[in-house]
Structure 1
Amino acid sequence: MTDLLTPARAVAAIKFKWQKEGDAKTYDYFVPQGLELAPGDKVMVETKRGETEVEVVEIKAESEMASKPILRRADPAPVEPETAPVKSEWDF
């Protein structure tokens, strides 16, 4: 039974690097609160053999199969490049 006052947690379907396209099976992991993910993003998850990098293939509203959370983003979030101040010929 679900609690109506508890917000649903988003779920990410992930694919392990060693899986081939034809044999790929996805595994569901909970997306931590505040972590924005999209298909193609790389994240770190805990497995029997330790942490490993995986690819997000789908974001779902819910899942009966998810039991573990995603640990963190593997690829850094895009950062806006810093622009150097423009030097004017009037700068002394």
Structure 2
Amino acid sequence: MTDLFTPARAVAAIKFKWQKEVDAKTYDYFVPHGLELAPGDKVIVETKRGETEVEVVAIKTESAMAEKTILRRADPAPAPAPAEPEAPANDWNF
């Protein structure tokens, strides 16, 4: 049963580095609240052999297979676009 006041947790389908492109199997991990991810992002997850870097291949709204949560982003978060410099006020001081 879900709580109506608790927001749903997003799920990231990830692919391990050792998987070949023809291997379509992905593994689902919960996305921590507040972490914005998109396909292609690199994240760190816990495995039987310790922490490892993986690639996000899809974001889902739910999964029956997700059990663990992504630990953190592996690549730096995208930097916000630099602000445009303010145009100087008309300075008629010659």
Q: Which runs of 5+ in 1 are unaligned?
A: 83-92
CA distance in 1, matches of 2:70, 2:16: 13
Amino acid at match of 2:31: V
Aligned alpha-carbon RMSD (Å): 1.6
Amino acid at match of 2:23: D
Q: Note closer, same or farther for the CA distance 1:40–1:54 as it changes in structure 2 (3 Å cut).
A: same
Q: Note closer, same or farther for the CA distance 1:78–1:7 as it changes in structure 2 (3 Å cut).
A: closer
Computing the radius of gyration over CA atoms, which structure comes out larger, 1 or 2? 2
CA distance in 1, matches of 2:41, 2:58: 10
Moved runs in structure 1, 4+ residues, more than 4 A?
A: none
Task: Compute the TM-score of the two structures, normalised by the length of structure 1.
Answer: 0.82
Task: Compute the TM-score of the two structures, normalised by the length of structure 2.
Answer: 0.80
Q: Which runs of 5+ in 2 are unaligned?
A: 83-94
